[in-house]
Structure 1
């Protein structure tokens, strides 16, 4: 069962709260699961529950998402800021951790795992690698909510999610309902009537929309990683290209491909969960 918690972190001249949920025995080996650009920590509930018999699983909401504080400066919604927040979480945990990172969460994981004296011992990169095509970044940015985007009902919000997150894979109706539940926040219009919006600060889109998309090359960062890595790829992913995935595996990463998924696999299906669990257990 998920337990709500939070950690404070200093960014610039202000402290902010980063919320997280945790599962399992706090005395067990730790696994930190970090979500993608427009998602939140509750995406990992099925994986966390499946790991909780052997691990202490911690799933944060990155700044501006879920129950974490929104940031006053839109341009702060970039990986260096997230790494600051996540470093505070790692310091609060004060023990070795394995890391499961989906997309943006994987970028943050690579940055932290490459640091000297890192507490990260194993790294799962879910549909993210050292090369990101500009076209994929542009497409992902186009799925982000605009400030005025509203949905009259939860059913409408879920239908929207099923469309924009179709690459997550073949999710069940209960799984879509779970994602929708934790992706919604209630907002009031000028008349006081309620509606639903996506549960993140729309300003997270501004760093993407205010820059010209270019291919991202993180191979120098990749070369700094000295730990076991599991690379997960959605078979139809446009963000983790086959050539990048193959090069990662040739460099020593274990590889796992999720059929019927693009960017990024939801890691809610039993085979993917089993693959991640086996890797984390060192099998």
Structure 2
């Protein structure tokens, strides 16, 4: 299969219902499901390369978290928060009716996975966290906040790709073709040009995160981490400014004691496009049965 199916599920929020889009790969009757969830300003097509590698084994489902991609935007920006995203994913999992479920989450998607995996009777069997953990470096949040939600418009896809690359160099080496393919789903047609394919209002709750709020969230996330008993693969860009080496090491020593793999020449976050990155995830998911 070269292209995914675009599907939708209705989810509840404080103002009513919203539609969450998701991209589905592989046999729709396959009870073996892999959910892949993207980072803060990204969308489900980020996982095309990984999905192609695993769609013969899994039904791979890659949602556009609400406010991104093909999903609805929320009337109340307060809903752009991890607990609400976890609730949306519970609705999605009910739709998928999976007998077995594995999870790959990049950055924000990893935090959503951690929150879901820590729930009593969680269906998640194996968890891959891509460059994120319970402690998030505050300086990284400040860096992201410099561009998050800023009004911007581009004349061409290539101009947009170049601008996105300027704020995404920490993703590591990509060919021009790879980066353009990753950038196209990030764009929304706007007259004779393009704008980002996410709701600028996702920046509203993000900018309300103070050091004190971040510290409180960190305590809660470590409690969630320490409660886990499932196998966890932790990926880290060796130059990441969001997941520190110290936090990654602590995640291998407490809670589920994750298996840690670092990628040289990459910051936040590995995009799972490179063959070595894909191979590590495939090996973890497919060789533990």
Shorter-chain TM-score range: over 0.9
Say whether the 8 Å CA contact 2:15–2:76 is kept in structure 1.
Answer: no
Work out which of the residue numbers 76, 79, 82 in structure 2 matches 1:73: 76
1:107-143 C-alpha deviation (Å, 9 max, x unpaired): 0000000001111100000000111121111112223
Q: CA deviation at 1:235?
A: 0.6
Q: What 5-or-longer segments of structure 2 have no aligned partner?
A: none
Question: How many aligned residue pairs are there?
Answer: 277
CA distance in 2, matches of 1:28, 1:200: 31
Q: Which residue of 1 aligns with 2:261?
A: 256
1:132 maps onto 2:136 in alignment = yes
For the pair 1:22 / 2:24, whether they are aligned, the reply is: yes
What secondary structure, in the 3-state scheme, does the structure 2 residue paired with 1:39 have?
Answer: coil
| Aligned counterpart, 1:243 | 246
Q: Tell me how far 1:282 sits from its aligned partner.
A: 3.1
Specify the alignment match of 2:8 in structure 1: 6
TM-score where L is the length of structure 1: 0.94
The one of 156, 160, 164 equivalent to 1:161 is 164
Instruction: Give the distance between the partners of 1:138 and 1:75, measured in 2 at CA.
Output: 19
Match of residue 40, structure 1, among 20, 28, 43 = 43
Contact 1:11 1:84 (C-alpha < 8 Å) held by counterparts: no
Which residue does 1:117 correspond to in 2? 121
SS of corresponding position for 2:230: coil
Q: If the length of structure 2 is used for normalisation, what is the TM-score?
A: 0.93
Measure, in 1, the Cα distance between the counterparts of 2:146 and 2:94.
35
User: Aligned Cα RMSD in Å?
Assistant: 1.3
User: What is the CA-CA distance between 1:9 and the residue it aligns to?
Assistant: 0.8
CA distance in 1, matches of 2:197, 2:124: 29
Residues 28 and 54 of structure 1 are in contact (CA less than 8 Å); yes or no, is this contact kept in structure 2? no
CA distance in 1, matches of 2:210, 2:259: 33
Q: Distance in 1 between matches of 2:193 and 2:287?
A: 46
Aligned residues of 2:86 and 2:115 also touching (Cα < 8 A): yes
Q: 2:224 aligns with which of 221, 225, 240?
A: 221
CA deviation string 1:181-206 (max 9, x = no partner): 10100113xxxxx2211100011111
Structure 2 counterparts to residues 135-214 of structure 1, below 5 A: 135-146=139-150, 148-188=151-191, 194-213=192-211, 214=214
Conserved? CA contact 2:118–2:227, under 8 Å: yes
Segment of structure 1 superposing worse, 173-182 or 107-116: 173-182
Shift of 1:225: 1.1
Q: Tell me the secondary structure at the aligned position of residue 266 of structure 2.
A: coil
Distance in 1 between residues matched to 2:49 and 2:104, nearest whole Å: 13
Q: Does 1:59 align with 2:62?
A: yes
Partners of 2:27 and 2:252 lie apart in 1 by 33
CA contact (8 A) 2:20 2:64 kept: yes
Q: Which residue of 2 aligns with 1:281?
A: 286
Check whether the contact 1:234–1:265 (CA below 8 A) recurs between aligned residues.
yes
Residue 191 of structure 1 corresponds to none
Q: Secondary structure at the match of 2:203?
A: helix
Q: What displacement does 1:267 show?
A: 0.7
| Cα distance in 2 between the residues matched to 1:50 and 1:142 | 35
Moved over 6 A (4+): none
3-state SS of 1:131 partner: coil
